[in-house]
Structure 1
Amino acid sequence: MLEKKFALLGIAAMTLMASVTACSGKNDNGSSSSGSSSEVKKEKATFTLFNGVAGSKDGNTNETTIGQMLEEQTGVNFKLEFLVGDLNTKIGTMIASNDYPDVLIPDSAIEEVMNAGAFIPLDELIDQYGPNIKRVYGSVLDQMRAKDGKVYYLPLSAQVGDFVPDPEPDAAFWVQRRVLEEAGYPKIKSLDQYIQLITDYAEKHKDDGLTGMVSMTNDWRFFATSNPPMHLLGYPNDGNVTVDTNTLEAKTYAGSDATKRWLQTLNSLNANGLFDKASFVDNYDQYIAKLTSHKVLGFFDYKWQVGNALNTLKDAARKDPSLDGYTYFPLPVTFDENTPDAYIDPQGGVVTNRGIGITVSADDPVRIIQYLDNMLTEENQTLISWGIRGETYEVNDKGRFYRTADQIAKIDESFNEKFGYKYYDWNWPSYDAHSTLANGNAKGVDYQPEVFQMSLTDKDAAILDRYGVQTYTQMFAEPEYRAWYPAWGFAKEQNSPEQIWETKKDELAKKYFPRLVLSSPDKFDSVWESYMKEFDKLDTAGYEKWATEQVKKRVEAAASK
């Protein structure tokens, strides 16, 4: 134990020395990294940060191992608060009182924050204190500039180095493994096949109190119910549009036959008692609880959104293999089994309508920007992602990072919280998970082939073998490069025609989708007609024109580099 403590202190001290020098140096794996352009103050300071995404516990960063080490380097701790309740209400209260946390991640309410003048410009701070911010974001910052030409917030990630694909899909139609096992591990490619698979299992186990499917509709997470038609058509997650890779034309699908077909499928499931009606009233925590209850056979969602549930089930199955059947398996479902899927995120551009900013309430923006810049050193990106060498990862004689079986076993959800992986995941400026470190290792631990293979249980390996693959993504189509991706990340001004279209479209979906799914099948068409009468009043042509223009701008910008 003493050796481990001294090792921890030694690593922190070495990282501290690296962060306060103005020169570049080599780390122990031979990679280079940039230090801060000026000495970072070490006096202790605590700043407040509000994250507009729910799902994590409030707390201080220095209550975690990673946070403690970063505090040793910079003297800075953050008191974190995460969303509870409605995002727009919370942000609206801040704006009305003109009282903000020091640092703000407003998520989808970022335009309201910008319109209120809550963020300070970062250009001078970055020029003076942000060498690593410049290195990581480079020309991407130009895409973040407001109308006045200034940068007010940083994207939460940027692609650095080579692009590494994820061995697991970013989204899928998920099904419990026991359902596949009982069916003899069939190849499921179409929506009809998927629904039949679930229906057959539910019919054979009528007395088990099972739910065929659930869906997520709470607040901004409504996309988990409205997005599937896009994926079922064979497109990646571009938000409100699908984009033709040849013509670059963006088309909406909210009023399409694809959306009608998807909702009619859920309507049929509901009529047969296989859809959870509470999907339209449950909050996020209730949704996650149902996914871990062992009673839900299937659902569609994005891996990042259901990660808590998936990890909880995997942790339980590792400790007790008899529970493996309750874990979920991802399937590449489309309307037509001959249509290639697009569930794996392609390499593309940068999300410009989300980010982290320093507010007008902050007393010491310099300390904050220095902290953010310090996080982007190679050493700290390694720390935040991989952890501590000898404790949470190892390095072989070829310089490749890996984890031992014991390390993989101990890094469960509880460990993630205590160590700080959970606090530092997708909340801060960082290398994108698909990136590589300067030494060639994947930035995202799960993207490293050695780690993925070691993390597989005997049950994992067996089911993958039944499908003739070594990774889950080998069951999915390879992604096609899209320079604009994702279109949902295009920045738009508050009260602009495109924002108004999205707001009204979302309002119509939240009003009519519950009626469409929960109505009796004989009334579905009449409800759909009512929905379309209102939808047709929207300036969809104008929105598609704007989205197409944004796509073409991104493609042209990428071609000029």
Structure 2
Amino acid sequence: MRKKALLILIFVMLSVITLSGCSGNKQNKSVNEEKSSGAKEESVTMYLAESWPSSIVDPSWTDPIAKEITKRTGITVNVTTLKSEDADAELNMMMAADELPDIVVAYDDRKTRLISGGYVQPLDELIEQYGPNIKKNLSPFFDNWREDDGKIYALGNWNWNAPTKYALNLQINTLYMRYDILKELGYDKLGRNNEGDSFITVDEYMSLLDQVKDTYPKMAPVLIEGEDAYKTMIMSTGVQSRQNTVFENGKGYFLYDNPYTKKAISFLNRLYTGDYIPKGFATFKQEENEALLSNGEVFSALGNVSGLSESQAALSEGNDEKRMVMFYLIDNPEVKSIFANGYWGIGGPSIMVSKKSEKVEAVMRLFDYLSTEEGSLLVNAGVEGVTYNKVEGKNVPIDEVAKGYASWDTNVIKKYGVGGWFNIFPSLAGVDKDGNANDINAQKVFEDDKWVGYNNKDWQQFSYTQIVSGAGDLKKENHPEAFEALIKINGYIKDRMIKAIVAPNAEASEKEWGKATQQMKSDGLDELSTALEENWLKLAEALNKDPEKLNTVEADK
């Protein structure tokens, strides 16, 4: 997950074989065996190098799940969260001082630096030695987690076995609009009675925005956060994309310099200069976004906006239809499917073991227990009688937890640990032999909340499975010049984009972005684009796919 990593609610109603913890031989004893004879009490240290996991757990290790983990395994985790807004600088200081704790959780470039710098160790042999349940239950995901050298350095957190159905929450880069306002305007696709009614063209969207300006003059037609809105516009073209790469007609491009970049920025500038977007949006914090959304002062959000999902409970209080619902923006009617990123069947590999850890066995015992069926139920559902109850043989979350999870209330998430720790530790979130998920709160949302089902229309048409494989990612050791260029460009490109969006007119916007492009070129854009193209082709080869069809959906087959 990225910094704005987003929670994806997934429910699977497919009967599979029971994934139960198994015992190993005398040398490879599972935690289940050990705890029956008294678990050894130990403490390990963990650093969360990302803002997302740091924001959803109580580092004191005193919530019901954390305490129960210690009770069952004898292991206490001393957690340190990200302290500053500069995650790179904070991690760099720890690496320079060689003071990494036993466990490190990091994403993307920070994870890459930890691996390439030798700060974390391969897990393959450790899994063989200490992780019989990891091997038994998580091995179907191993190929997704291998790096270019063929080794596993990080485990994924929530893992859904045999995913077949997907419930999508308000957390992906697409278009969100007020249901009640659409109903008042008589929008003809609102009922979603026909296949494809979840799609809306840019022209249709602009027509709705104009109607909102005329009918509700005090309401902001659009709220955006620059980067996510830009990505939504790129996705609307249906182009093949992954992380920093856009690929079309045999050529790879950097995300911020592809054939659709100018058009996307021009559109966003048009929204801004036409007073569709609130002035000052670029400085809004989550609290300001959430207040605008909760108070009903916004008609639509173009791309994911911080505070979006958190605002829905307050927005819809007293009127179930007064909420945001998802539509999938397409550039024109010819676009049949888009890459709605954030759509995963497994959690991205992010939890690693420090090279210098002296508690490797304890760390692996912890990971191994949480990879059992029993441990997975604990880390996903919590403690029976505290966070859920068994009703007629089915695990049912208590109301406070279920509602907190559905609205992603971080106070509730932290209080009980439900929703927090499964975004960090390895586990099975998917179904058991009876079709019930360990992530019982995601299951309840899917079953009970008609709006999740509403948002799930046409999923086969638009949602590509997110590729989480480490193969084909940009590595410093493989492409040092391109890697350096990416670091430089990422340091300023979002700010330069905002300047282009808020330029006073189309000509000034184009000029501003032209200067940004020249700066990217001087910082190694050509080398970066070449490396991204090579990696795209490499990934396609590893997955045995046509490079032009790396992302495919059921409707494409």
Paired residue for 1:201, among 201, 205, 212?
212
1:155-554 correspondence to structure 2 within 5 Å? 155-166=156-167, 168=169, 170-187=172-189, 189-206=200-217, 208=218, 210-216=219-225, 222=227, 224-235=228-239, 238-242=242-246, 251-283=253-285, 287-288=289-290, 290-292=292-294, 294-302=296-304, 306=306, 309-314=308-313, 316=314, 320-322=317-319, 325=322, 327-342=323-338, 354-360=349-355, 362-388=357-383, 408-409=402-403, 413=409, 414-431=411-428, 435-445=430-440, 448=443, 451-456=445-450, 460=451, 471-478=454-461, 485-486=467-468, 490-494=472-476, 496=479, 497-507=481-491, 509-521=493-505, 522-535=507-520, 537-539=525-527, 540-554=529-543
Amino acid at match of 2:21: S
Q: Shift of residue 375 of structure 1?
A: 0.8
Cα displacement (A) at 1:473: 1.6
Comparing 497-506 with 334-343, which one deviates more in the overlay? 497-506
Structure 2 residue runs of 5 or longer lacking an equivalent are 1-15, 190-198, 551-557
Tell me the alpha carbon deviations over residues 167-215 of structure 1, each in whole angstroms, 9 at most, x when there is no partner: 5574421123343233124436012322332343234333x3x433333
**1:98 maps to which residue?**
98
| Residue 363 of structure 1, CA deviation | 3.3
- Mapped partners of 1:312, 1:511: distance in 2: 26
- Stretch moving more, 368-377 or 334-343: 334-343
Shift of 1:241: 2.8
State the shift of 1:514 in Å: 1.7
Instruction: Say whether the 8 Å CA contact 2:231–2:303 is kept in structure 1.
Output: no
Q: Distance in 2 between matches of 1:34 and 1:50?
A: 27
Paired residue type of 2:496:
Y
Mapped partners of 1:269, 1:349: distance in 2: 35
Match of 1:49 in 2: 47
Mapped to 1, the partners of 2:463 and 2:205 lie a distance apart of 25
| 1:121 lines up with 2:122 in the alignment | yes
Q: CA 1:554 to 1:285, structure 2 compared with 1: closer, same or farther past 3 Å?
A: farther
Aligned with 1:356: secondary structure? Answer: strand
Which region of structure 1 is more displaced relative to structure 2, 114-123 or 530-539? 530-539
Distance 1:250 1:139, change over 3 A: farther
The Cα offsets for residues 15-61 of structure 1, whole Å up to 9 and x where unpaired, read as xxxxxxxxxxxxxx993411464225342525333241246166336
CA distance in 2, matches of 1:292, 1:356: 35
Instruction: Decide whether the 8 Å contact of 2:43 with 2:76 is kept in 1.
Output: yes
Deviations 1:358-412 (A, max 9, x none): 2245331211111111111112222333345576557777x77666878745756
**For the residues of structure 2 that align with 1:116 and 1:386, how far apart are their CA atoms?**
36
1:167–1:471 Cα contact (<8 Å) kept = no
Q: Partners of 1:349 and 1:386 in 2: how far apart?
A: 19
In the superposition, the TM-score normalised over structure 1's length comes to 0.76
- The answer for the alignment partner of 1:25 in structure 2 is none
**Structure-2 change in CA distance of 1:487 and 1:143 (3 Å):** closer
Taking the aligned partners of 1:78 and 1:287, their CA distance within structure 2 comes to 34
2:457 counterpart SS class: helix
Aligned to 1:321, the other structure's residue is in SS state coil
Distance 1:283 1:490, change over 3 A: farther
| Larger RCO (CA within 8 A; separation ≥ 6) | 2
Whether the 8 Å CA contact 2:401–2:413 is kept in 1: the answer is no
Partners of 1:406 and 1:533 lie apart in 2 by: 53
Range with bigger deviation, 343-352 or 63-72: 343-352
Task: Give yes or no for contact 1:119–1:359 (8 Å, CA) kept in 2.
Answer: yes
Tell me how far apart the structure 2 counterparts of residues 440 and 323 of structure 1 sit (CA, whole Å). 29
| Corresponding letter in the other structure for 1:133 | I
1:85–1:250 Cα change, 3 Å: same
Contact 2:400–2:412 under 8 Å retained in 1: no
Compute the displacement of 1:498 (Å): 4.5
3-state SS of the aligned residue for 2:233? helix
Question: What is the percent sequence identity of the aligned residues?
Answer: 17
TM-score, normalization by structure 2: 0.76
Q: Deviations over 1:145-182 (max 9, x none)?
A: 56766533223344523433225574421123343233
Closer, same or farther: CA 479–263 of 1 in aligned 2, 3 Å? closer
How many residue pairs align between the two structures?
Answer: 498
Measured in 1, the distance between the counterparts of 2:113 and 2:216 equals 49
* 1:373–1:226 Cα change, 3 Å: farther
Aligned residues of 2:381 and 2:440 also touching (Cα < 8 A)? yes
> For residues 340 and 401 of structure 1, what CA distance do their matches in structure 2 show?
39
Contact 1:212–1:298 (CA under 8 A) maintained in structure 2: yes
1:134, CA displacement in angstroms?
A: 1.2
Deviation at 1:335, TM superposition (A): 0.9
Q: Is the Cα–Cα contact under 8 Å of residues 379 and 421 in structure 2 kept in the other structure?
A: yes
State the Cα distance separating 1:85 from its structure 2 match.
0.5
Give the secondary structure class of the aligned counterpart of 2:184.
Answer: helix
For structure 1, which runs of at least 5 residues remain unmatched after alignment? 1-28, 465-469
The equivalent of 1:87 in structure 2 is: 87
Q: Report deviation, 1:289.
A: 5.4
Q: What amino acid sits opposite 2:167 in the alignment?
A: D
Taking the aligned partners of 2:384 and 2:542, their CA distance within structure 1 comes to 43
